[in-house]
Copies of this chain bind each other. A is one copy, B any other.
Amino acid sequence: MENAAEIPSDVLDSWFELLRIPSIGAEAAHLDDCKKCAEWLRSRLENDGFSAELVGDGTHPPIVFAERPGDESRPVVLVYGHYDVQPPDPLDAWTTPPFEPVLVDGRVRARGANDDKGQSFALLSGIESLIAEGKRLPPLKVIYEGQEENGSTALTRLAPKLGQRIAADVLCVCDTGESPDGRPAIVAGMRGVAHFTLRLRTGDHDLHSGLSGGWSPNAARMMCELLSSLYRPDGGIAVEGFEDSVEPPDDATLKILAECIGGSEEDFNRAERVGFHPSIEVNGVHSGYGGPGSKTIIPCEAVAKVSMRLAPGQVPEECSRLVFEHLRARVQKGAELSIEEVNTGTPGFRLPTESPLFALAKDLLAKLDPRGPVFVWEGASIPVVSELARVSGAAPLLVGFGRDEDRIHAPNESYSLAQFARARAWARLFFG
């Protein structure tokens, strides 16, 4: 098992260089940073012997696409990763600036340290080490996109156009997590995801809470009531029909899950809950005054960011329709609701645990950890994976090395050198 000390210093330098680019894909103001980041990757791949290009029309973070011929007798591998990162706010919750990576107690702290610059660069640097050693690799195709955190809009649109060029046997992704006990994990399923933004208007200006209090509609209150209406008193989802098409896991799957999770009932319940059932989460709600002291207003507008995680069987468009109908039916007199879909959604999926690819992966991962890998059914989503799998014809192989303490999407995101080294070692095993 490779350890942290084995990461060459030039690899570490390059990783830091990559982390310094504030490639926030969701924010138009950072489009140039995304372009810079994409070019950094393209040029690196070119140096690695790939033919590499940037795909896109310039209005969005470009897609890096690269190909490298290899041993034709081996399966063609399509590597997917993303170079965009989540917005870093709240900025003042960071101990050090998010785009100035630092190494503290064996962990690299920066936005994107794990998700996904750290994980995907670890994979790439493992491949690069094999190339440097003159190893004969399988035919490789690489896609890095810059909108994963924001719905993969461009790649979802362009993937069918790339068509045969991305045809592959295996879709290799390093953007997921290890088992809590540190064993490697193979993703056997993921939830789908759909995002939307709600805007509620009750007038064209805020009202005085004394003059109108108790009489006029209050956008803040109504938004709270709308969002609350999505949940039953027991915490479940109150949207009628929402869970009707969920395909529950069979007993064999639950048995594998129990084996992979180990003893704790709470851990099992959590894994079962987030792996096989949908959720609706309020990612943010903002209305009216939030500063010091008080401001005696009745707010006239409110905005909420909502995301849904979808279980296998659920059709994103249908789920969105049910939620939107539920909300629209509950908009009170005097208020106007507009719903903007940030994307139309991606379905969840579940993979057969008995495939030859998974058998190979299990054998290789047992070399990283003698306990062998576990299967996980991820609560998270990589929206474009379903689409890439469909278009490329490849079987998804998602093996990543993230951990809870990495705090992805939150302030002070980090990734340890040990995790980076394991991801790099996995690449050497799989591609070598």
- Listed in ascending order, the chain A residues whose CB lies under 8 Å from chain B are 26-28, 86-87, 89, 93, 149-151, 177, 191, 193, 195, 197, 205-215, 218, 220-221, 223-225, 227-228, 231, 270, 273-274, 277-279, 281-299, 302-303, 305, 307, 309, 342, 378-381, 404, 407-412
Contact = CB atoms under 8 A, between A and B. Distances in A.
A87 to B, nearest CB: 6
10 contacts: A26-B292, A28-B292, A193-B210, A209-B307, A213-B281, A215-B270, A221-B282, A224-B227, A284-B295, A295-B305
Nearest to A272: B215
Contacts of A209: 279, 281, 283, 307, 309, 409
Contact of A210 (B270, B381, B404): B381
Give the number of copies in the complex: 2
A284 B285 contact: no
Q: Which of A28, A177, A211 has the most CB of B within 10 A?
A: A211
A151 B293 CA distance: 9
B285 A285 contact: yes
Given A207-B410, A212-B274, A410-B205, A228 B225 contact: yes
Nearest to A217: B235
A224 B381 contact: no
A303 B224 CA distance: 13
Nearest to A380: B210
Given A210-B379, A214-B273, A286 B290 contact: yes
Given A193-B296, A213-B274, A282-B220, A407 B205 contact: yes
B410 A279 contact: no
A250 to B, nearest CB: 20
A238 to B, nearest CB: 12
B223 A295 contact: no
Given A211-B379, A224-B224, A228-B225, A305 B294 contact: yes
A221 B210 contact: no
Q: Which of A227, A278, A284, A407 has the most CB of B within 10 A?
A: A284
Contact of A27 (B210, B213, B291): B291
B296 A379 contact: no
A261 to B, nearest CB: 14
B224 A282 contact: yes
Q: Which of A205, A206, A207, A208 has the most CB of B within 10 A?
A: A208
A151 to B, nearest CB: 7
A211 B408 CA distance: 10
Contact of A87 (B87, B208, B295): B295
